[in-house]
Structure 1
Amino acid sequence: MQETPTQKSELKKSCVNCGAELTYAPGTTSLTCDYCSYKQEILVSENTFEELELFKYLNEMGAQSHSEQITMLQCKNCGANQHIEENYKSLHCVYCSTPLIIEDAYKEDWILPGAVVPFQLSQEKAHQIFKKWVNGLWFAPNDLKKASLDPQHTKGLYSPYWTFDAQLFATYTGQRGEYYYVTRTVGSGKNRRTVRERRTRWYPASGNVSGFVDDTLIKASKQKSGIIPSKVSRWNLKELKPFDSGFLAGFVTEKYTIPLKDGHLDAKKEAKVIATRWARNDIGGDTQRVSSINMHLSEETFKHILLPVYISAYKFKGKRYNFFVNGQTGVLSGQRPYSFWKIFFLVLGILIVIGVIVYFANQNQ
């Protein structure tokens, strides 16, 4: 009888002492039990994570040994696809807090993550960063400050990304600009003066550039709203660890919704930007124009990786606001609502002060 392979990303991590659920302790390589404080080490592989050959996956998606089946729930409000493990308790969308219905769970194939940047900040630390930021906001509604007191509003999410590597070769044509200066006389009479103007001589240029493009990072999921800001989307990829499902214990994992094929197209656009930058450096001079570039990529590989972020979702007057904290660096970014009445009374107070000053100034005349 053929043995059914174990889906290792969906194994429940149980404490050997009390049977309670183990969760990953951010900043460590350990799983911990919140009930009896038992610790279990995550055996991180000493081997580097594998770069997968791109075109095999583009042509035979789902047929490779690095694919598996996972349980998913899709948020009907914002469209986020979230991986549901046994340790998923909240049953609310991490992006918009909409209730999720467990009966809507379904099985779906995905490309197994090759690497992960583990959380370095605990939920408590991320919530402290969020709370400090909220308390420092001017004209924030009181309800927002109250919401920031509840750490349950701050949830840890592993967000999916594609990374692409390739050898790049490109030929280009363009122009090299070299600055020179001329002195001109402008104006007339007393306003007559000389000015120094910068001008550019252009010379034709052509050539080729080549090099290795490493870890082009492409977002692999898309929601109707709740997009992670670019300020927060900066992780140190040198801290990537070979994938182990232990790092996911206690956190939500979002599945990619941007297919590998579409991610590859975005990566090619980024590669062309890189090739153009290399061409400008190769042209030299004071300024450059690149009129055409013919790019070729070879030895293309990719990884599916998971990157950590904390999210707080808050509704004010029917509108949702998302706040994000980078789970590795602690960088925060988010939208914020304003209190109309706080602004109104401030403006009113300023007008009263101005009125009093004007009144007494007139009395002293």
Structure 2
Amino acid sequence: MDNDRDIGFMEEEKRAVSEQKKSCSNCGAELKYKPGTTSITCEYCGNVEEIVQDSNGFQELELKPYLNEMGSQSHSEKIVMLQCKNCGANQHVEENYKSLHCVYCTTPLIIEDAYKEDWILPGAVLPFQFDQKKSHQIFSKWVKGLWFAPSKLKKAALDPQNTKGLYLPYWTFDAQLFANYSGQRGDYYYVTVPYTATVNGKRVQRTRQERRTRWTPVRGSINGFVDDTLIEASHQHKNPIPPKISNWNLEALESFNTSYLAGFVTEKYTIPLKDGHLASTREAERIATTWARRDIGGDTQRVSSIDMTLSEETFKHILLPVYISAYRFNSKTYNFYVNGQTGAISGKRPYSFWKIFFFVLFIIIVIGIIMMLSNQ
């Protein structure tokens, strides 16, 4: 068993070495990932190279060893990080550091402050499916449809330099779930109830049907496979990713290869694996309760207790794609997000006081004119 584990670790180390940044074989410039493809390209000479796919697919890692002392180092490597002094976001860029700004708040990043840090290697990545130009078009269309937006907002959002591609870290957890439960099954029935009504000034007797619930004590057990429970692995930035864009098709995950990160920013997880596991366990309890209600049946259910056991637990560290545009207005930072796979968009936006003021003033004037004309 130990030999197999050692062999697995050696293979992981070889894979990590093979995934170092690649230079163009023609001109030596840095290659960048082309969204929606399985290739990396050179912006200078146009050379295209295919990303080597792992024929074994991505790996589910056994959870318990990672929650103990040995796991954190067995599938890990050093990564160069830059931390934003303003909002605290930790960011890694898979390219030569040039002029960099925080993807969340646009604060300049100090290249001299770069440091190396261990991270659990991602097991899978969901590559960007469209480029920055397309995300810019989605932003532009959304901004143009905003009412009472400041003019500066539209100018800022129309600047492609304010749009960055970011890979977000997530944990996913799989497990076999078994639970014993106790509760009550509720079945509806109806009874005829008399009441007094007033009809044409006279009090008359009427009847109506009222619903009642017959409760029956129940006990039982449920079991099943909980697949890919998705847990956020970073809470360091001030503006959380909106739920509206946090829906990805995880069936499109690819085995991790650093080539997919080339040209994009990667955020390192700040929520430890053990905390992510606790969150996934709470989600598993919610799932177990839902399964118990379904198993109880009837018209309504009460689950009074549930004793859950999880086994064969595995996890992955995965990276999911988002485009972000950060804009400052009146000393405040507003973020706009586009799902890098689906194109779904969401974000906070400022309002122009003067546009609202003049609109309200216009409405008052129009109402005043209508009232003047109606009085003539």
TM-score, structure 2 length as denominator? Answer: 0.92
Looking at structure 1, the residues matched to 153 and 367 of structure 2 have their Cα atoms a distance apart, in angstroms, of 31
- 1:81 maps to 90
SS at match of 1:231: helix
Q: 116, 138, 148: which is aligned to 1:139? A: 148
The answer to whether the aligner puts 1:232 opposite 2:241 as a matched pair is: no
The answer to whether the aligner puts 1:308 opposite 2:308 as a matched pair is: no
Residues 1:201 and 1:174: Cα distance change in structure 2 (over 3 Å): same
Looking at structure 2, the residues matched to 9 and 79 of structure 1 have their Cα atoms a distance apart, in angstroms, of 31
After superposition, residues 1-365 of structure 1 pair within 5 angstroms as 8=17, 11-60=20-69, 64-190=73-199, 193-363=206-376
What letter is aligned with 2:233? Answer: A
Structure 1 residue 194: Cα displacement: 3.5
1:66-86 CA-to-partner distances (Å, cap 9, x unmatched) read 111111111122221112433
Residues 1:135 and 1:31: Cα distance change in structure 2 (over 3 Å): same
Looking at structure 1, the residues matched to 99 and 70 of structure 2 have their Cα atoms a distance apart, in angstroms, of 32
Structure 1 residue 60: Cα displacement: 2.0
Residues 1:187 and 1:103: Cα distance change in structure 2 (over 3 Å): farther
What letter is aligned with 1:292? Answer: S
Looking at structure 2, the residues matched to 123 and 157 of structure 1 have their Cα atoms a distance apart, in angstroms, of 11
Structure 1 residue 326: Cα displacement: 0.3
Looking at structure 1, the residues matched to 51 and 352 of structure 2 have their Cα atoms a distance apart, in angstroms, of 47
- Judge conservation of contact 1:157–1:252 (CA < 8 Å) in 2: yes
% same residue: 71
What letter is aligned with 2:43? Answer: D
What letter is aligned with 1:209? Answer: I
Deviates more, 1:193-202 or 1:95-104: 193-202
Looking at structure 2, the residues matched to 243 and 53 of structure 1 have their Cα atoms a distance apart, in angstroms, of 17
Looking at structure 2, the residues matched to 160 and 9 of structure 1 have their Cα atoms a distance apart, in angstroms, of 22
- Judge conservation of contact 2:22–2:30 (CA < 8 Å) in 1: yes
SS at match of 2:74: coil
- Judge conservation of contact 2:323–2:340 (CA < 8 Å) in 1: yes
Looking at structure 1, the residues matched to 85 and 326 of structure 2 have their Cα atoms a distance apart, in angstroms, of 16
What letter is aligned with 1:119? Answer: F
Looking at structure 2, the residues matched to 151 and 195 of structure 1 have their Cα atoms a distance apart, in angstroms, of 66
Structure 1 residue 63: Cα displacement: 5.0
Stretches of structure 1 lacking an aligned partner (at least 5 in a row): none
Structure 1 residue 10: Cα displacement: 7.4
- Judge conservation of contact 1:83–1:254 (CA < 8 Å) in 2: yes
What letter is aligned with 2:147? Answer: W
Residues 1:186 and 1:336: Cα distance change in structure 2 (over 3 Å): farther
Structure 1 residue 250: Cα displacement: 0.4
Stretches of structure 2 lacking an aligned partner (at least 5 in a row): 1-12
Residues 1:149 and 1:227: Cα distance change in structure 2 (over 3 Å): same
- 2:7 maps to none
1:8-50 CA-to-partner distances (Å, cap 9, x unmatched) read 4873321111222211000000101111111000011121211
Structure 1 residue 7: Cα displacement: 5.4
- 2:5 maps to none
